[in-house]
Amino acid sequence: MKIQLIHPPVYVNPHALTALRPAPPLGLAYIAASLRKAGHEVSVLDAVAEAPTQTTPEGRVRRLGLTTDQILERIDRDTQALAITNMWSFSWPAVRTMIHAIRKHNADKTIVCGGEHFTGLPEFSMRTAPIDYIVLGEGEEIAVELFAKLDSGEPFDPAEIKGLCWRRGEEIVKNERAERRKNVDEIPWPAWDLFSLKAYDENNFVTGIKFGMTVPILATRGCPYSCTYCSSPRMWTTRWYPRDPIDVANEIEFYTKEYGANNFPFQDLTAIIKKEWVVAFANELVKRDLDINWQMPSGTRCEVVDDEVADLLYRSGGRSLCFAPESGSEHTRKLIKKK
């Protein structure tokens, strides 16, 4: 089946001081790899990478990336389905406009959406945009199952696919959530060959500090905590699954050779949970002597970072580590239900 994945434009505010910047779409790259492994013909339309310096004024903010008309021009006429991701809800107006335009000009194509925003607000998203299906939460296995059904050409009951939101006539149906995937080492590495990492790197569209050619990494999935102000429990549940430290090191070493990368921001929600894991990972990097920088700009817990761990993190190339205390007041932490 021919599937075109779309990374939509994003909103940026030139008047605000913010740590949020566009970055290579790691989740979409994972989906691309899984769909390709399943035998589908996958292409990518990256609205940010294809127009990284183009902005369009929209009120007090600007939309970065291709315009809606430019996106429509780049949609493959022969593709049978479009898969659209959106992480940040503040970019939803731009994404919604794009989806409406796509539907108007591509009535024959199936539109499937996924990501943090769609998982957090599936019914709202389907009420306000002509979406056929929404994949809830961790998306690789659900997407592979859904597109296999669509590719077969045979009638199927969407109610049988866990982790799916869909339409039954005028009714919006949200199925039971799928179980989290435990063996995360079986998930293929992101299909970065389908994306322009160079465009992101040259325009400083990276998370954290830019030390050089950058490729994002995901070493663990999920977070065991349930802070009420965070979307993680809804997106990932409260299960935390680490990858094999050797496999993570293998991926990093591959990128140093394939792309000349030497800077690796980890996109994990909370990578440092178990001391044994982080020690094994850091020791593996030290052993390989790769001459790289890696960092955790998304934040992590500090409970297991003692003198031994801190020394290993630095010797293995760790150069930036963000903690997320939220508040120095225990009273405030209780009020915001930090868990």
Q: What is the pLDDT of residues 16-45, one digit of tens each?
A: 655 567 899 999 999 999 999 999 999 999
DSSP designation for 2: E
- Say how many Å lie between the first and final Cα of the chain, rounded: 44
- Stretch 197-218: mean pLDDT, rounded? 92
**Mean pLDDT taken over the chain:** 92
The CA-atom distances, in angstroms, between 256 and each of 65, 206, 244, 262, 264 are 28, 17, 19, 6, 10
Distance (Å) of CA 167 to CA 158, 159, 172: 9, 10, 5
**Which pLDDT value is given to residue 20?**
62
Identify the CA nearest to 217 among candidates 194, 199, 197: 197
Q: Could you tell me the pLDDT band of residue 110, with boundaries at 50, 70 and 90? A: very high
Q: What percent of the chain has pLDDT over 90?
A: 73
Average pLDDT over residues 308-314: 93
CATH numbers and ranges of domains, the chain: 2-174 (3.40.50.280), 206-330 (3.30.750.210)
Give the pTM. 0.93
